[in-house]
Chain A
Amino acid sequence: MRKVAIVGVGHSKFGDRNDVTFSELAWESMKPALEDAGLTPKDIEMLVVGNTGMWSEEGLPAVVIADYAGMSDAALIRVEAACATSSAALRTAYHAIASGEVDIAMAVGIEKMREVDTPIVVELIGRAGYYYWEFENFGFTFPAYYALHATAHMAKYGTTEEQLAMVAVKNHKYAVNNEYAQFRREITVEDVLKSRPIAWPLKLLDCCPITDGSATAILAAEEVAKKLTDTPIWIAACEAAGGTANLSKRDSYVGLRAAVLAAQKAYKKAKVGPDQIDVANVHDCFTIAEIMAYEDLGFCKKGEGGKFIEEGQSYIGGKIPVNVDGGLKAKGHPIGATGTSMIFHLVEQLRGEAPNQADIKHGYALAHNVGGTGHYCYVTILKRD
């Protein structure tokens, strides 16, 4: 397998983007990524589009984006892994280059969720589990899937609603400096606790918003990457694992097995441990998800995630800065774009160009991108020279 580097990244403004079409929104992150890499659309041999769809009108997202961007001759593919969709796109592009099939590939993550009404989004995303057994008759919703984990975690480890709120407070604080973020305002623990219940114990400000956005990464083989840039960001590992469709088949509800498995594989492949990760983006679709991520990734012991945020260990200056771009919570969560958005931010961090810069000591950054409720998990570790 060949070494693969990220040579260009781009990001659109996240939020309510009914000011642009699907293709226009994709191009908003593709163009800066091409400029960053010093490439043109004709240089892209393979275009991998991560898009979950359903709420947007296009049935063949890779095709319409390639048409708009002048890339129709490239090898086109669309991939889906729920909220981990563009991590799956990144992994597909990574494999194509590592195997020697192509030298340059682009992974575009895009989601346009606000073209339909909110109850329809709640309906569609609630179906992202096992429709037949858990949605058709019982209406499990996406916030509820995570709320189940919150009640289990609170009961077993004494995690509190205040600790959950602290995750949202941290991520909103860091989003203020992120020009691409949907919400650029600080909130307090009281604001979160007083917000209206969505799926108790999760309240409105425990939940990520419904977001439109796109983010792009361009990948290249080692020899090509070295010609294109002086600061290639290497993919040290991009690993994945899955989880049962039925939540009822899980061993427990205090963590995500898919995340633990994907993290173990990624640490092994990259030959690093959690102590060598300088900065991380984790999948905080709901506040409880970030607390479980600290534990599943080994940033703290099982059950101590609540204490970890309470002590400020995931702030810059703490044990490991987490989601210092605002996370899904405040930056927004266009589900198919979130994976490459995490990569965009971590590349900025490793290049030393992030708005909220962490101290890079070991040269490693980690992205933890969960699809559904632990139905998929992708863990990517990036490295700078």
Chain B
Amino acid sequence: MAMAEKEKPPTFRSRPLTLIYNLPYGKVAKFWEALKEGKVITTKCKKCGKVYFPPQMDCPQCMTSDMEWIELSDEAVLEAFSIVVVRPASFEKYNPYILAIGRLVREDVKISTWLLDVDPMEAAKGKVKVGMKLKLVVREVDPGRPLYYFVPAE
């Protein structure tokens, strides 16, 4: 296609702005502490029994904050996935990664995270399929920062 590179119009560079937020986690600190022990826990309303993931300390259904912590099971089924090739600026240091939403069979809650132990290039060729069985694990993709991930169950 014969498209001449258009001359860029004149612009000023603005003053730079760096934004870093402090994200409070005090109310669900137990969740992050449990990850350090290799466990994924979440909250359950003592009144109606609803399991929340991500964990939250308020049940808007019952208008109560009387919640208990439960450990999640690890058996899941893949509901949807994608291979992220074009990464956000703050994720450019990683290789392309596979995003997955899996449904925990026992609790019937869904989790959004990465699917590990599969080459992203192979995932597009049928290695990853909606409906496949997954296992919920705790790993340190970034050393010293344990998080919850899925891996193929078989």
Binding site for B on A (CB under 8 A): 18-19, 57, 115, 117, 119-120, 122-123, 126, 132-141, 143-144, 147-152, 154-156, 196-202, 246-250, 252-253
Minimum-distance CB pairs A-B, first 6 = A147-B82, A155-B130, A119-B89, A139-B91, A123-B88, A148-B80
A242 to B111, CA, bound (A): 20
Contact A200 B124 (CB under 8 A): yes
User: For the complex, what is the distance from the CA of A150 to the CA of B101, rounded to whole Å?
Assistant: 13
B85 and A248 within 8 A (CB): no
Is B53 in contact with chain A by the CB < 8 A criterion?
yes
CB of B11 within 8 A of CB of A144, answer: no
Specify the chain A residue showing the minimal Cβ separation from B55: A133
Interfacial chain B residues near A148, Cβ < 8 Å = 80-82, 99, 101
Interface residues in B90-120 (C-beta closer than 8 Å to A)? 90-92, 94, 97, 99, 101, 109-114
- Known: A18-B8, A152-B80, A250-B110; 11 extra A-B contacts, CB below 8 A, are A133-B112, A136-B23, A141-B84, A141-B86, A147-B83, A148-B80, A148-B99, A150-B82, A197-B85, A200-B124, A253-B101
Q: Tell me which residues across on chain B come within 8 A of A132, comparing CB atoms.
A: 23, 54
Q: How far is the CB of A23 from chain B (nearest CB, A)?
A: 15
B47 at the interface (CB under 8 A from A): no
Residue A199 contacts which of B8, B53, B83 (CB distance < 8 angstroms)? B83
Residues B88 and A126 in contact, CB atoms below 8 Å apart: yes
- In this complex, the interface size class of chain B, counting residues with CB under 8 Å from chain A, is 35 or more
Q: Can you spell out 28 A-B residue pairs with CB atoms less than 8 angstroms apart?
A: A18-B9, A117-B89, A119-B87, A119-B88, A122-B86, A126-B88, A132-B54, A133-B112, A134-B112, A135-B88, A138-B114, A139-B88, A141-B84, A141-B86, A141-B87, A143-B86, A144-B99, A148-B81, A148-B82, A151-B82, A151-B130, A152-B79, A156-B130, A198-B86, A199-B83, A201-B82, A202-B82, A247-B112
A123 to B86, CA, bound (A): 10
User: Which residues of A have CB within 8 Å of B84?
Assistant: 139-141, 144, 199
CA of A247 to CA of B114, assembled, Å: 14
CA gap between A242 and B80 in the complex, in Å: 21
Q: How far is the CA of A134 from the CA of B148 in the complex (A)?
A: 12
Q: Which residues of the other chain, A, contact B81 by a CB distance below 8 angstroms?
A: 148, 151
- Within the assembled complex, what's the spacing in Å between the Cα atoms of A304 and B79? 20
Is A138 touching B113 in the complex (CB atoms < 8 A)? yes
In the complex, chain A residues whose CB is within 8 Å of the CB of B97: 139
CA gap between A201 and B82 in the complex, in Å = 7
A248 B111 Cβ-Cβ under 8 A: yes
Indicate whether B14 reaches chain A with its CB closer than 8 angstroms. yes
Q: In the bound complex, do residue A19 and residue B9 qualify as a contact, i.e. CB atoms below 8 Å apart?
A: yes
- The smallest beta-carbon distance between A117 and chain B, in angstroms, is 8
B85 contact from A138, A140, A200, A250, Cβ within 8 A: A200
Residue of B nearest to A20 (CB): B9
Whether B80 pairs with A149 at a CB distance below 8 angstroms is yes
Residues of A near B82 (CB, < 8 A) are 143-144, 147-148, 150-151, 199-202
Enumerate B36-90 residues with CB–CB distance to A below 8 Å: 53-54, 79-90
How distant is the Cα of A320 from the Cα of B110 in the complex, in angstroms? 36
CB-CB under 8 A from A150, the residues of chain B are 82
The residues of B that contact A135 with a CB separation of less than 8 Å are 88
| Nearest A-chain residue to B17, judged by Cβ | A57
Q: Closest residue of chain A to B98, judged by CB?
A: A200
- With A119-B89, A198-B85 in contact, do A155 and B94 touch (Cβ < 8 Å)? no
B127 within 8 Å of A by Cβ? no
Residue B147, interface by CB 8 Å: yes
CB pair B80–A151 under 8 Å, yes or no, is yes
CA of A147 to CA of B110, assembled, Å = 17
**Given A123-B90, A152-B80, A253-B80, A199 and B85 touching (CB < 8 A)?**
yes
Q: Write out the residue numbers on chain B whose beta carbons fall within 8 Å of the beta carbon of A155.
A: 129-131
Contacts of A134 in B (CB 8 A): 112
Q: Can you name the residue of chain A whose Cβ is closest to the Cβ of B3?
A: A185
| Residues in A whose Cβ lies below 8 Å from that of B91 | 139
Q: Is the CB of B89 within 8 A of A152?
A: no
- Say whether B86 contacts A138, CB under 8 Å: no
A229 to B114, CA, bound (A): 56
Which of B14, B79, B94, B113 has most chain A Cβ within 10 Å?
A: B79
**Contact between B130 and A248 (Cβ–Cβ < 8 Å)?**
no
Identify A247's interface contact among B53, B101, B123, B124, CB under 8 A.
B101
- In the complex, what residues of B have CB within 8 A of residue A196's CB? 85
Interchain CA distance A249-B130 in the complex, whole Å = 17
